Amino acid sequence: MNSIHTFTVEGIDGKAIRFADYKGKKILVVNVASACGYTPQYAQLQELSMEFQDHLVVVGIPCNDFGGQEPGDNEQIQAFCSVRYGVTFPLSTKLTIKGPNKHPLYSWLTSKAENGVLDADVRWNFTKFLLDENGCLLQAFPSSVSPLDEDILNLVTP
C-alpha cells in the first residue's frame, strides 16, 4: 500500500475525506492545533491552498497529542479556523497521530515499511507531509518550515 488514496478519514463536518478523491492533485497533510506557536501557519496553509487549488489539496488533521494544544471539539475547531483564518481547505475530526492509538493514516505517513519512501517522526504540531498526484509520499517537513517555504513551493508549482 504505497498510496494515500486508500485512506479515508472523518471530516470535521461529518463528511468523509476520501484521499482517492484527490487523485491527480498533490496533497499536503498537516497536523494542526489552535493553541500552538505555529498556529499562524493556518493563514499560510490557506494561502497555499487558494494559490494552487487546481493542483494541490491541503488537508488539516487536528490533533491534541502535543502539549494539549487542540483541546476543542469539532465545532470549536471549525469555528476557530473559519473565523480566525478563513480556512476553506478540508479538516478532519481530531485524530491521534502518535503512540499506541496512532491513526492508520499516520502509521502509513511515518513508516517507510508502509509508505515505501521514508520514515518520519512527527515531533510537534504543523508537521507537513507532501504527496504527489498518485498519492505517493514525496517529502516530510518539520513544523518550523513555513507552508510557503521555497522547498514546498518548488514541489507544488506545476
36 is catalytic: yes
Selecting among 36, 63, 81, 136, the annotated active-site residue is 36
Give the separation between CA 98 and CA 65, rounded to whole angstroms: 7
Helix (H, G, I), strand (E, B) or coil at 120: coil
| 59 beta partners | 29
Q: In terms of Cα–Cα distance, which of 105, 83, 76 is closest to 18?
A: 105
Amino acid, single-letter form, for residue 106: Y
Contacts of 56 (CB under 8 A, 6+ apart): 25, 26, 27, 28, 48, 49, 156
Q: Which residues are catalytic?
A: 36
